[in-house]
Amino acid sequence: MILKGYGFMKLLARTTVIITTISPRGIPNAAPFSFNMPASFEPPIFVFACDPEHDTWRNIRENGEFVVNIIDESLGDKLHILEKDFPYEVNEIKEAGLTEEPSKKVKPPRIKEAFAWLECKTVATYPIGDHMLIAGEVLLAEVRDEYFDKELKLDKVKPLIHISGTQFAIPLERRFKRAR
C-alpha cells in the first residue's frame, strides 16, 4: 500500500508528552506533542517539532525554556482539553485540572501528574517544512522512583503511544532483551 503525503506518520508510533512553557509575564502554557525524540547523548539533547502558530513556540522564542512532561495512559483523557486552541496566556494546566509544580532548573512549571520530567533549555531551532524543529539541552531529567529501576518499569507505567489523529496505543508486552 502506498501512503500519500503525511500518511507516512501512521507508520511511526511515538511517545506522547506534554510540553510546558511560560510567557514573559509568567503565565504557564501546556500542549501535547508526539513529534519528539532524544537526539544527542553528550550533551543530552531532546528535539521536537512544533507548528509555528502554537503558543508553545511563541514562549520558547521569548525565553528558550521548556519542560517535557512524560505521561502515561492515566493522563490520556486530558489531551483533548490540552490540545484546544485556548487564547494566549490561558493556563491550560489549570483548564485540564492538572497540578503545577515548580521545576528545579527552568522557569516553566512541571505537571505534577506526569511520571517523569525533562527540564530543557533551547540550544537550536530550525524551520523544517511547516514545523519548527526545537532542540533543547536536558538540564535535568527526573523520574518517579517507583517507576524506574535502571530501566523504566513497564509493569508500573504504561507509556501512551500516539499513532495518528485519534489513534493511540498502550504497549502491554513485557520487556525482553535482544542482542545488539
Of residues 4, 41, 43, 85, which one binds ligand FMN by CB under 6 A?
Answer: 85
Size of the site for ligand FMN (CB under 6 A): 17
- H-helix segments, the chain: 55-63, 79-82, 92-95
In a 13 Å sphere around the CA of 140, the CA atoms on its Cβ side amount to 14
CA diameter of the chain: 51
Site for ligand FMN in 9-28 (CB under 6 A): 16
> Smallest gap, in angstroms, from Cβ of residue 134 to ligand FMN?
10
H/E segment holding residue 3: none
Question: Rule CB under 6 A: is residue 75 a binding residue for ligand FMN?
Answer: no
Of 34 and 125, which CB lies nearer to ligand FMN in the complex structure? 34
Asked whether position 137 contacts ligand FMN by CB under 6 A, the answer is no
Q: Could you tell me the end-to-end alpha-carbon distance of the chain, in angstroms, rounded to an integer?
A: 31
Binding mask 88-127 for ligand FMN (x = CB under 6 A): ----------------------------------------
Judged by CB under 6 A, the chain residues 25 through 64 that form the site for ligand FMN are: 29, 31-35, 49-51, 54-56
The yes or no reply on residue 69 touching ligand FMN (CB under 6 A) is: no
For cell 483533548, name the residue: 80
3-state secondary structure 39-64: EECCCCEEEEEECCCCHHHHHHHHHC
Name the nearest CA neighbour of 41 among 119, 134, 137, 142: 137
Q: Which is nearer to ligand FMN, 80 or 175 (CB)?
A: 80
| CA-angle at 43, arms to 41 and 44, nearest 5° | 55
Residue 170 Cβ vs ligand FMN, minimum distance, rounded to whole Å: 13
For β-strands 36-40 and 100-101, DSSP reports them as unpaired
**Would you tell me which residues interact with ligand FMN (CB under 6 A)?**
16, 29, 31-35, 49-51, 54-56, 79, 83, 85, 162
